[in-house]
Amino acid sequence: MSRRSARDARGQSVVNYTAVTEQRLLNPEPHNWLMYEAPTVDGAYSPLEQITPANVKKLVPVWSF
């Protein structure tokens, strides 16, 4: 996978991200959501633990379409 540098929606530098390619969409890493819903049987359920009820208010948009 190639690593790149880019800017987020606020113009801040985002370094060392992995580009989303067709190959990654067809075979995503289990810890990444590359589409609207997670590639799991439950669809919108995530086993990830970084976002919690205690810190969700701190989230800010970094990309939109």
**Model pLDDT, residue 5:** 59
Q: Which residue has the tokens 């819903």?
A: 37
In a 3-state reduction of DSSP, which class is residue 18? strand
Sequence ranges of the domains in the chain: 1-38
Show the tokens assigned to 39.
């590639």
pTM: 0.38
pLDDT tens digit sequence for 2-48: 555 577 677 777 777 778 888 888 888 877 777 776 555 555 666 67
Cα–chain center distance at 8: 13
* 42, 33 Cβ separation under 8 angstroms: no
What pLDDT band is residue 59 in, cutting at 50, 70 and 90? very high
**Model pLDDT, residue 33:** 75
Q: What angle do CA 48, 38, 28 make, to 5 degrees?
A: 95
